[in-house]
C-alpha cells in the first residue's frame, strides 16, 4: 500500500483526525507484533523522530495510535520507519481490516493444523521408545521411527514454525532482540542434535532425538498465539460493532416548510454544519444538533444508561446515536460525526485499549536486557555442564532458552484485561482505562450515584395484574395488536411478555400519543387505551406497586 497520498492536509482529513492546527491523530493496525520487544522497537524508533507527539502500540490488538505535527514530519515517513522494522502498517477500521483479520486467522489456523497433525503422528513414533523399558527399543525399529519423525518434523519447522524464524530475523536485521530469537535458537538446536542422532545413533549423544519435543513446542506456541489472535479480533469486533449500528445516510431538508418539506436522502459525507435534518420515528440521530421543529421521546440509554425515554422539544440538544421513538423532529446540525459526542466516547474506548498496565510497563523496561541475559545464561549452562555430561549440557542450554522465555508472563495480563473489557462491552459497560482492573484488588468500598445507570438498559416487567373480567388470552392478543408497531421501550417489553401474534383482534384508529400511551378502537370492546394511569383516566394509587416501578395500564372504554 502506498502512503504518499497522505502527504497533503486535504487528504489527511479523510483518514485522520485533526486535533488542533497542524497536529493530527491516526489509528493504524500493524501486522507482525508478537511480543513486548516488538512493541518497544516500534515505539522507541518513532519517538526518535522530531514532530512525533505520541505513539502507543497495543500488543493484544496490534492497533497503534500515532499523533504528530504535520509541519515537522509526514505520516508516510512514520509508516516507512515501521515497514523498515519488518512490520506492515494499515489504516485501521472498515471492512478491509476485518478481511485482513480473517485472512490472518485462516493462515494461523492452517499453521496450527499442520503442527497438530504432525505432532500426534510423531508422538506415536516416540511412544515405543518411552515404553520399551531399560533394554530399549530394537535398533532397526528405533531407526525407522526416527526417520519417520524426521520426515514429519520438516513441514512443522518450515511451514508452521516459519513465523518464529521470520520474526527473529527481522529483529536481528534491525539490531534488536525479540522473544522469538531464543525460541528459534531452541528449535534449531534441538533439530540439529536430532538429525545428528538420526544419522549417527552411536555418536556421543547416544542417538537422542527431540522431534517430539520440537513438534509439541511449536504446536503449543501456535495454540497460544491463535487464542491470543482470536481474543484480539473478538475485542475489536465488539467495540466496532457498537458504532457500526449508526446509519450511513440522513434525511436532509432542502426547505424550511415543515408542513411540506422537500427531503433528500444523502450520505453522511454530504452533510455540513447548519444543515436541517428530518428524523422519523424509529430512526437514529446521526449528528449532534438542536431541535428546530417538532417534539418526541428519545432513547438515549447508550449514553445515560437510563431505560426511560427522554422527552425532547424545540431548543433541546440532540446527541448522535439517540433513537427517535414516537414523533417527527427536525434539527440543525451543530457537529459532524467525527466531532460528535459519540465520537469522543469512541475515542475514549479506543484509547482505553492502548493503556498499558503498570506490570507490563515494568516488563517493557527490562525486555532487551532480559532476553540478552537468557541467551548468555543458556551458553553458560552448556559451558558448565559440558565437561561433566554432553547430553545434560545440551538439555540445560535448550531448557534455559525455552523455559525462561517471558511470553506467557507478558501476554497473560493484557490478554486477560482485553478479554474482561470485551465481556463488559457486550453488557454495555465500557472501560475507560484498562489499568482500573489492577486497582480492583485494592478497593474495599464502592460508591454509586443515583442516576440509575446500573439498571438494565432494557426495561422488563416486574409485576402484572390482570382483571378477572376479561379472558387473559384475549388481553395478551390485544396488547400485542396495540404495541406491535410501537418503538417505545415499554411497548417492546410488553410485546415480549404478553405478546400473542395470532391476529384475532381487529383494531382501528391506532394512535400513539407522545409521553402518554397508545389508543385504538375495537368494534367489540370499544375504545382501548394503553399507557400511563393519567392517560387511561384511573387512579394509580388503587394498584399495588413498588416505589420505583413505572405503571402501564390497559382500559376498555375507561374500565380497567
Query: What is the spatial distance between Cα 221 and Cα 224, in angstroms, rounded to a whole number?
Result: 5
**What's the DSSP call for residue 148?**
H
Q: What is the pLDDT of residue 54?
A: 87
Q: Where along the chain do its domains lie?
A: 4-92, 99-242+355-422, 249-341, 472-556
Under CATH, which number does the domain 249-341 receive?
A: 2.70.150.10
DSSP 25: E
Query: Residue 325: what pLDDT?
Result: 82
Question: Over 80: is that where the pLDDT of 510 sits?
Answer: no
**pLDDT at residue number 5:** 47
The arithmetic mean of pLDDT across residues 474-487, rounded, is 77
Which cell numbers in the block locate residue 504? 384475532
Assigned C-alpha cell, 275: 444543515
Does 345 score more than 90 pLDDT?
A: no
Q: Is the pLDDT of residue 120 over 80?
A: yes
Query: What are the pLDDT digits (tens) for 421-480?
Result: 777 777 767 777 777 777 777 788 877 765 555 666 566 776 777 666 667 777 777 777
Q: Which of 32, 39, 36, 44 is nearest to 367 (CA)?
A: 36
Mean per-residue pLDDT, 285-312: 83
Q: Domain 472-556 belongs to what topology?
A: Calcium-transporting ATPase, cytoplasmic domain N (3.40.1110)
pLDDT-derived band of residue 419, with 50, 70 and 90 as boundaries? Answer: confident
Q: What is the fold of 4-92? A: Alpha-Beta Plaits (3.30.70)
On average, the pLDDT of the chain sits at 78
Selected residue with higher pLDDT from 325 and 59: 325
Give the span between the Cα atoms of 59 and 42, in whole angstroms.
Answer: 11
Does pLDDT of 64 surpass 80?
A: yes
pLDDT at position 451 is: 57
Question: Using one digit for the tens of pLDDT, what is the confidence trace for 216-246?
Answer: 989 988 887 787 777 767 766 666 666 666 7
Taking Cα atoms as reference points, which of 364, 330, 188 lies closest to residue 261? 330
Cα distance between residue 172 and residue 14, in whole Å: 37
Cβ neighbours of 62 (radius 10 Å): 26
What pLDDT score was predicted for residue 158?
Answer: 92
- Across 119-132, average pLDDT: 87
Q: What is the pTM of this model?
A: 0.57
Q: Evaluate if residue 328 carries a pLDDT over 70.
A: yes
Q: How much is the pLDDT for 547?
A: 46
Q: Which residue has the higher pLDDT, 354 or 69?
A: 69
Q: Which of 155-169, 399-413, 523-537 has the lowest mean pLDDT?
A: 399-413
Q: What is the pLDDT of residue 148?
A: 92
Amino acid at each position: 500500500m502506498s502512503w504518499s497520498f497522505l502527504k497533503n492536509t486535504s487528504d489527511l482529513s479523510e483518514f485522520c483526525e485533526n486535533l488542533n492546527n497542524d497536529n493530527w491523530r491516526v489509528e493504524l493496525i500493524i501486522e507482525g507484533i508478537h511480543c513486548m520487544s516488538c512493541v518497544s522497537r516500534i515505539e522507541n524508533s518513532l519517538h526518535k523522530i522530531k514532530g512525533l507527539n505520541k505513539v502507543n502500540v497495543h500488543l493484544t490488538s496490534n492497533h497503534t495510535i500515532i499523533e504528530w505535527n504535520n509541519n515537522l514530519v509526514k505520516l508516510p515517513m512514520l509508516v516507512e520507519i515501521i515497514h523498515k522494522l519488518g512490520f506492515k502498517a494499515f489504516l485501521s477500521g472498515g471492512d478491509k481490516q476485518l478481511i485482513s483479520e480473517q485472512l490472518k486467522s485462516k493462515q494461523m489456523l492452517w499453521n496450527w493444523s499442520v503442527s497438530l497433525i504432525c505432532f500426534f503422528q510423531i508422538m506415536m513414533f516416540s511412544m515405543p521408545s518411552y515404553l520399551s523399558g531399560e533394554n530399549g527399543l530394537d535398533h532397526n525399529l528405533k531407526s525407522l521411527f526416527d526417520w519417520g519423525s524426521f520426515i514429519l518434523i520438516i513441514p512443522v519447522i518450515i511451514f508452521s514454525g516459519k513465523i518464529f524464524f521470520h520474526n527473529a530475523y527481522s529483529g536481528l536485521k534491525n539490531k534488536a532482540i525479540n522473544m522469538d530469537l531464543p525460541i528459534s535458537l531452541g528449535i534449531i538446536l534441538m533439530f540439529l542434535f536430532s538429525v545428528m542422532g538420526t544419522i549417527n545413533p552411536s555418536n556421543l549423544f547416544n542417538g537422542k532425538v527431540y522431534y517430539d519435543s520440537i513438534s509439541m513446542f511449536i504446536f503449543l506456541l501456535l495454540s497460544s498465539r491463535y487464542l491470543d489472535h482470536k481474543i484480539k479480533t473478538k475485542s475489536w469486533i465488539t467495540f466496532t460493532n457498537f458504532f457500526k449500528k449508526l446509519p450511513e445516510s440522513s434525511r436532509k431538508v432542502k426547505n424550511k416548510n415543515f408542513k411540506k418539506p422537500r427531503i433528500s436522502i444523502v450520505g453522511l459525507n454530504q452533510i455540513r454544519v447548519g444543515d436541517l435534518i428530518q428524523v422519523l420515528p424509529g430512526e437514529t440521530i446521526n449528528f449532534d444538533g438542536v431541535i428546530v421543529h417538532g417534539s418526541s421521546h428519545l432513547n438515549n440509554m447508550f449514553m445515560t444508561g437510563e431505560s426511560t425515554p427522554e422527552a425532547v422539544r424545540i431548543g433541546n440538544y440532540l446527541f448522535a446515536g439517540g433513537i427517535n421513538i414516537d414523533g417527527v423532529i427536525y434539527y440543525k446540525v451543530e457537529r459532524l460525526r467525527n466531532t460528535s459526542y459519540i465520537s469522543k466516547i469512541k475515542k475514549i474506548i479506543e484509547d482505553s485499549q492502548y493503556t498499558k498496565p503498570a506490570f507490563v510497563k515494568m516488563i517493557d523496561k527490562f525486555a532487551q536486557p532480559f532476553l540478552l541475559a537468557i541467551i548468555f545464561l543458556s551458553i553458560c549452562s552448556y559451558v558448565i555442564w559440558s565437561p561433566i555430561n554432553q547430553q545434560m549440557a545440551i538439555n540445560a542450554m535448550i531448557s534455559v532458552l525455552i523455559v525462561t522465555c517471558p511470553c506467557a508472563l507478558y501476554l497473560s495480563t493484557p490478554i486477560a484485561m482485553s478479554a474482561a473489557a470485551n465481556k463488559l462491552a457486550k453488557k454495555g459497560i465500557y472501560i475507560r482505562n484498562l489499568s482500573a482492573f489492577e486497582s480492583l484488588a485494592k478497593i474495599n468500598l464502592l460508591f454509586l450515584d443515583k442516576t440509575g445507570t446500573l439498571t438494565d438498559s432494557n426495561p422488563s416487567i416486574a409485576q402484572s395484574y390482570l382483571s378477572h373480567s376479561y379472558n387473559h388470552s384475549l388481553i395478551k392478543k390485544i396488547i400485542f395488536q396495540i404495541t406491535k408497531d410501537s418503538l417505545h421501550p415499554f411497548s417492546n417489553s410488553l410485546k415480549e411478555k404478553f405478546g400473542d401474534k395470532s391476529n384475532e383482534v381487529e383494531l382501528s384508529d391506532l394512535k400513539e400519543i407522545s409521553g402518554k400511551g397508545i389508543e385504538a378502537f375495537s368494534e367489540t370492546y370499544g375504545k382501548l387505551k394503553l399507557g400511563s394511569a393519567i392517560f387511561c383516566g384511573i387512579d394509580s394509587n388503587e394498584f399495588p406497586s413498588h416505589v420505583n416501578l413505572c405503571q402501564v395500564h390497559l382500559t376498555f372504554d375507561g374500565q380497567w
